[in-house]
Structure 1
């Protein structure tokens, strides 16, 4: 019987010849990724250890730099996270502390931990991001802790929704626009299912963009997203892979719960909000909305492709004096690369403030110069836009791609980036 990507990946993870939708499987975990602040001292107090400490990666992202005192009282500080990782026996190489830090679903990809054909579990809600690398990646949240002890997790094989991409992605479009379009179209149709991406249109999507799409899986309602492997993925993975891997391909006549085809050339910038990520609208409907703050960063909009496009728009120009623009690279590696290729200089010359890598202003508990005040309006490339997420609950937050954010920072109002890209 023909199988989907999901069925093949879960058969491989559970050591079975084949599995089908509805089967209960126990999947062996290839890697668990944990963020700073996300810990369970009960594990250490009761003498429990990870099934394999070498398959656990800690990434410092939410509280680097340290959060305000009120957040530290609840989550602890960076030193608590270092101590927790050490008590678990996690090798120092696997702990991405300050200077190597970044988002917990970005660093493992950059550093070659996450490989095609593997099963990945993350403590963070956006763990599905890694599915862009042809692996099965899910957010474990608090089920991460029992899985940490056993190295496995049981689950019911979910249905899959096939997403076929054709055409070529236009300039000014990023992963956020693709996932917003899917969020708009598939509400209620993808719940607890897996989105499987394929088709000739994949060729025009950089890995960064694919990760930006997969990052939105939980908002769409999907369990995760999985992308087919192609040459672009192999070119990304091979130079950094920490071990052998084998890509997984769906059978051509596999059965799906639903199938949708999208021509990438028809995509346009979309905007979400304010205050509700599922409120998607064309950019034209909110163009001209005055803003006081703009943010490029977090797990949804701080990768190199995001920063490069923003820098292209900002290069040689100055942001509006009425707007503060903050940029937070997704990882230390992206920060270094942006410094070396001139992207960082273009952003700073335009008037942006560049901060330490990590989640940055995306969470009100983090230290960021962006923090929103009552009555302010912000355009952000980050992952969430509900009231209070980035400061005052009386502020309005619109979400869009990094190019829209950059163009809006120049104009002082929500603006179409294609006006600057030609």
Structure 2
């Protein structure tokens, strides 16, 4: 019997020739990526404990920039993390502060920490994002102290579900729409399992889109998501990889708990919410619904492809006077690339406010000028549509892709970006 990508990665990381679903294994990890909060610091100091490998731990300053947000304040927590890093011998370059910063599961990918075949854990719910680069990536939110000290984690090898992709995504449909389609279609069938993608459609997806899809595992209900390695991924990883790597492929005879087929060319632009992530509808079903706020950013968006897509919609147009549009690049490198390519100028000319990189308005505790008041409705590319997530408990959050958010910001109501994108194609022809 053959092995899945998941089984191969976990077998190698646990020193075994082969593992099967249900096996208990002690897995040696390759990377632990942390946000800019260190709840484990006091525990390690009190017991005079050292991290297992200072070279394999990174901190990404992405959440805590709001100086008056209690109980964690940047002016206290950021220096505390840097002091802890010095005590532990964690190199300064492993601390991604302002100017180098970005979201804690984006930085490992674009800076070459996450590589094919690796085991990468993150102290954030969306750490599965890294699985886009053919590694096993998983969040560890509680009990991270033993992992920090030993560098390994006990796991039960999970079952896997395979999704075979064919076709190409239509213009203006991206990774967020794939996630919402899977949320609507799969229900609880992938709960606690790993989704492994395969099929010729994978090759049509840019790396930014793969990252957006892998980011959605928690919302879909899966343990994590893994993409296969192809030439496009190897070309992306090779110049930035910080360690040697071996790409992992599933065996032809690998067994899966279930297999699904998805034709990317049939997918439409979708909206999730409000309040419930599994309330998924086509954009045209909600078209005309008034919005007062719009947000493009967070770890499920805010990448260069997202910003470019929004700029294509907004170029030469203006944000509606009743809407405030905020854009937060996912990382400092993305911010610079968007500036270099003229994307930021298009967004600014349209009336958007572009903020420093990070999590931004995705959660009300983060630094962002966008805080929702009572009765407001926001259309956002962010992760969650929960009440109170972006401000008032009486506000509504609709989730959509960057093109839908941009079109809605122009019209002051939920709008399909199709006509705007078609016009851009005409102008470029």
Partner of 1:272: 272
Deviation at 1:417, TM superposition (A): 1.1
Comparing 275-284 with 329-338, which one deviates more in the overlay? 275-284
Q: Is the 8 A contact 1:68 1:367 kept in 2?
A: no
Deviation for aligned residue 1:83: 2.6
Which whole-Å CA distance do the structure 2 matches of 1:346 and 1:164 have between them?
37
In structure 2, the residue matched to 1:46 is: 47
Residue 70 of structure 2 aligns to a residue whose secondary structure is helix
Does 2:230 align with 1:230?
A: yes
Residue in 2 that maps onto 1:200: 200
* Equivalence map 1:2-13=2 (5 Å): 2-13=2-13
Match of 1:93 in 2: 93
Unpaired runs of 5+ residues, structure 2, are 423-429
Number of residue pairs aligned between Structure 1 and Structure 2 = 421
Q: Which runs of structure 2 are paired with 1:36-75 in the superposition (5 Å)?
A: 36-40=36-40, 41-63=42-64, 65-72=65-72
The 8 Å contact of residues 121 and 144 in structure 1, kept in 2 or not, is answered as no
Other-structure match for 1:145? 145
Shift of 1:67: 4.2
Match of 2:372 in 1: 372
**Distance in 2 separating the partners of 1:238 and 1:123:** 26
CA distance in 1, matches of 2:19, 2:69: 49
1:120 corresponds to: 120
Cross-structure match for 2:170: 170
Deviation above 4 Å: which 4+ runs of structure 1? 73-76
Partner of 1:27: 27
In structure 1, the residue matched to 2:133 is 133
**Aligned mates of 1:144, 1:32 — CA distance in 2:** 9
1:361 deviation in Å?
0.5
In the TM superposition, what is the alpha-carbon distance from 1:204 to its structure 2 partner? Answer: 1.2
Q: Give the deviation of 1:339 after TM superposition.
A: 0.5
1:388 aligned residue: 388
Partner of 1:326: 326
- The residue that corresponds to 1:300 in the other structure is 300
Check the 8 A contact 2:66/2:73 in 1, yes or no: no
Give the secondary structure class of the aligned counterpart of 2:18.
coil
Partner Cα separation in structure 1 for residue 350 and residue 284 of structure 2: 25
Name the TM-score, length of structure 1 as normaliser. Answer: 0.98
**Please, what TM-score do these two structures have when normalized by structure 2?**
0.96
* Pairwise CA distance, 1:73: 6.1
Question: Is contact 1:2-1:255 (8 Å) kept?
Answer: yes
CA offsets 1:91-121 (integer angstroms, 9 cap, x no match): 1011101110010000011111110000011
Q: Is the 8 A contact 2:67 2:73 kept in 1?
A: no
- Is contact 1:68-1:366 (8 Å) kept? no
Give me the whole-angstrom Cα distance separating, in 2, the residues matched to 1:69 and 1:4: 44
> Residues 386-422 of structure 1, C-alpha deviation per residue, up to 9 Å, x if partnerless?
0111011110100011111011001110111112111
Tell me whether 204-213 or 32-41 shows the greater mean CA deviation: 32-41
| Deviation, structure 1 residue 39 | 2.7
Describe the superposition over 1:282-339 as per-residue Cα deviations: whole angstroms up to 9, x where unpaired: 1111111100000000101111110010011111111101100000000000001001
Q: Rate the CA distance shift 1:327–1:416 in 2: closer, same or farther, 3 A.
A: same
Verify the 8 A CA contact 1:49 1:89 in the aligned structure 2: no
Shift of 1:46: 1.3
Q: Note if contact 1:363-1:389 (Cα within 8 Å) is conserved in structure 2.
A: yes
Equivalent residue of 1:141, what SS? coil
Rounded to whole Å, the distance in 2 between the matches of 1:120 and 1:9 is 11
> 2: distance between equivalents of 1:174 and 1:136?
23
* SS state at 1:301 partner: coil
3-state DSSP of counterpart to 1:369: coil
Give, in angstroms, the shift of residue 77 of structure 1: 3.2
Number of the residue aligned with 1:412: 412
2:264 is the counterpart of 1:261: no
- CA distance in 2 between counterparts of 1:263 and 1:157 reads 29
Rounded to whole Å, the distance in 2 between the matches of 1:282 and 1:67 is 39
**Alignment partners' CA distance in 2, 1:143 and 1:267:** 39
Structure 1: unaligned runs, 5 residues or longer: none
Q: Who is 2:313 aligned against?
A: 313
Of 277-286 and 261-270, deviating more is 277-286
**Do the aligned partners of residues 45 and 70 (structure 1) sit closer, same or farther apart at CA in structure 2, a change above 3 Å counting?**
same
The structural deviation recorded for 1:187 is 1.4
* Structure-2 separation of matches of 1:261 and 1:69: 45
Are the equivalent residues in 2 in contact too, given 1:60–1:358 (CA < 8 A)? yes
Taking the aligned partners of 2:15 and 2:376, their CA distance within structure 1 comes to: 53
Q: Deviations over 1:7-63 (max 9, x none)?
A: 111111111111111111111100000000243211122111110000001100001
Q: List per-residue Cα deviations over 1:325-378 (Å, max 9, x = no partner).
A: 000000000001001011111111100000010000111111211100000000
